[in-house]
A and B are shown apart, each in its own frame.
Chain A
């Protein structure tokens, strides 16, 4: 990784906090790229990953944007634009919401074992921070449009929702030709806060996307996170939830569609440190052609976290005999008084559901398209109808080329 490190080192020297960043980069070089012997990287196609394909000082040409981005932007009361992780603009205003950007290295506390987050810490241009003031109930959509260009980008986002406040954020990832995109996002919910985040990743099919999000929930906080993966050669979404207050609830819905040789890689960790908390994970995706998907998820319940209710469901559709899905749900429970369940399946489209649609007069091809689109529609159902419609139409346009064998 000499070439990459040369550009990284060069870039770091131009930063005001170069010393801190240098330390993190040194940590990364010591740890190196993870290996598939680590459970959270098991099955990942790391043999195809070459960091030297990328450079940190890539030219930063502005992403032109497209119809979807324009349509979504028109529906946002506040539209935040970032480019290669750098805050470009904030359009609109909502009482109780502030948007700021720092140019500091990212904190890696708690992430020391994740070398990509360490790399992000060293090389992020800074953190884009959205803060919702306590008591502010924001009903309108906050849209974040992330655009990427060729090269390596290390975006960093922090959304903090104050006590008894609520907000809805829609993130769109676009562009990223031949790019490495390593976003780290943190969602902090204070007591009785409520946040809905929908992330639609539609990067170029040549990109490597290695994302990590962490949701921290205070007492009675409620989080709903939808993660939709359509783009990238390698689409990795690690989404963790950490419960710090009783009564907190976290829902994570993820979905993806694999085409060509894409790999969609979902990891999750539902960490219940405290009792009377609830988590729901629903992951549904489809792999076509020679694509594949990976799901490994861990529900961890600490001793004393009584009356925890944690569930994990992962369903994978195989649309081709050459497609493949690996699914490994894991439970680590150190308390007896809990409700915990997991279910996973890998198989073709439901034959009877398809027949039902056909028996209405829908052709087999259209029935399959509707059912696959349905996976995404379920995930989008929590969004306002106008926003969901725009994303649904964008997904539908990409489904037309998908062949079910």
Chain B
């Protein structure tokens, strides 16, 4: 059983404080979903966790099984077990996915077969992974390629930043099923950021966190999604204001 613990995480982008003390804990096999209005800091949380340039952590702690991640290089955080699937996966011309994954620690003699299998799992044509990383892939194909990488690297935890955007209904179903299986296969803990309830219909969450103005302001079970659907984020903005 692994545990990802985020405590009072604060992060600036430029001079502006975006995260103002985020607290949450994810354990192996759990599916957590973060929802919140535009600009509340959801993607900033994902980027702060993985050390993206331009995102300055100004306070707090992120531990994975007691190991502090914030002092580690981005690659060391991933190797410690924290993987990020990006909202907009980047093109890296000239670099082949297989070489990237081998450099990331995958076994060269197994990786191509595993990639092909994982591609089929999420409805991605395996030959698309022979192209350079994300080059000439559609938005939806890139999202599925991120999940293929996840399936190869088998991290303890995955942060999925709007994995549902750009995916059609069938693709979203395939991705969600793969993630569900992963939670049981190797106990993947999922922290999924989304705007849409549709993902929750495919991927059953254990906990929903509502973010507003850089904080987690409410938590609950799947029923919280229905509240959001009915009332929107406005009531939660007030909670955020109360805490300021």
Residues of A within 8 A of B (CB): 351-353, 355-364, 366-367, 370-371, 373-378
* Residues of chain B from 159 to 184 with CB closer than 8 A to chain A in the complex: none
Across the interface, A377 reaches (CB within 8 A) one of B50, B52, B132, namely: B132
Given A360-B149, A363-B75, A355 and B51 touching (CB < 8 A)? yes
Contacts of B86 in A (CB 8 A): 356, 359
Given A352-B53, A371-B94, A375-B94, A357 and B100 touching (CB < 8 A)? yes
Kindly specify which of B101-109, B212-220, B225-233 makes contact with the partner chain.
Answer: B101-109
Question: Looking at A353, A359, A366, A375, which has the most chain B CB atoms within 10 Å of its CB?
Answer: A359
Across the interface, A361 reaches (CB within 8 A) one of B51, B52, B79, B133, namely: B79
User: Is there contact, CB below 8 Å, between A370 and B99?
Assistant: yes
Q: 23 pairs across A/B with beta carbons < 8 Å?
A: A352-B90, A353-B90, A353-B92, A359-B51, A359-B74, A360-B75, A360-B78, A360-B100, A361-B75, A361-B79, A361-B104, A361-B153, A363-B75, A366-B103, A370-B92, A370-B100, A370-B103, A371-B92, A371-B94, A373-B99, A374-B92, A374-B93, A377-B94
User: Is there contact, CB below 8 Å, between A359 and B100?
Assistant: no
Contacts of A370 in B (CB 8 A): 92, 95, 99-100, 103
What is the interface of chain A mostly: helix, strand, loop, or mixed? helix
Contacts of B62 in A (CB 8 A): none
Contacts of B74 in A (CB 8 A): 355, 358-359
Chain A: CB-nearest residue to B74: A358
User: Is there contact, CB below 8 Å, between A360 and B94?
Assistant: no
User: Is there contact, CB below 8 Å, between B103 and A355?
Assistant: no
User: Is there contact, CB below 8 Å, between B92 and A356?
Assistant: yes
* In the complex, B84 has a CB within 8 A of chain A: yes
Question: Looking at A353, A356, A376, which has the most chain B CB atoms within 10 Å of its CB?
Answer: A356
Chain B: CB-nearest residue to A370: B95
Across the interface, B75 reaches (CB within 8 A) one of A351, A352, A362, A373, namely: A362
Give the Cβ gap from A364 to chain B, nearest Cβ, in Å. 6
User: Is there contact, CB below 8 Å, between A358 and B73?
Assistant: yes
User: Is there contact, CB below 8 Å, between B53 and A355?
Assistant: yes
Across the interface, A355 reaches (CB within 8 A) one of B52, B99, B101, B153, namely: B52
- Given A355-B52, A356-B90, A361-B75, list of 16 further CB < 8 A pairs? A355-B53, A356-B89, A357-B100, A359-B52, A359-B74, A359-B86, A360-B104, A361-B79, A370-B92, A371-B92, A371-B94, A373-B95, A374-B93, A377-B96, A378-B93, A378-B132
Chain A: CB-nearest residue to B149: A360
Give the Cβ gap from A371 to chain B, nearest Cβ, in Å. 7
Contacts of B92 in A (CB 8 A): 353, 356-357, 370-371, 374
A353 CA to B73 CA, complexed, in Å: 15
Question: Looking at A353, A361, A363, A378, which has the most chain B CB atoms within 10 Å of its CB?
Answer: A361
Chain A: CB-nearest residue to B101: A360
Across the interface, B50 reaches (CB within 8 A) one of A353, A359, A375, A378, namely: A359
A359 CA to B133 CA, complexed, in Å: 13
A373 CA to B96 CA, complexed, in Å: 10
Across the interface, A364 reaches (CB within 8 A) one of B73, B83, B101, namely: B73
A373 CA to B100 CA, complexed, in Å: 12
User: Is there contact, CB below 8 Å, between B132 and A374?
Assistant: yes
Interface string of B194-220 (1 = CB under 8 A from A): 000000000000000000000000000
User: Is there contact, CB below 8 Å, between A377 and B75?
Assistant: no
A143 CA to B88 CA, complexed, in Å: 42
Give the Cβ gap from A362 to chain B, nearest Cβ, in Å. 4
Contacts of A358 in B (CB 8 A): 51, 73-75, 78
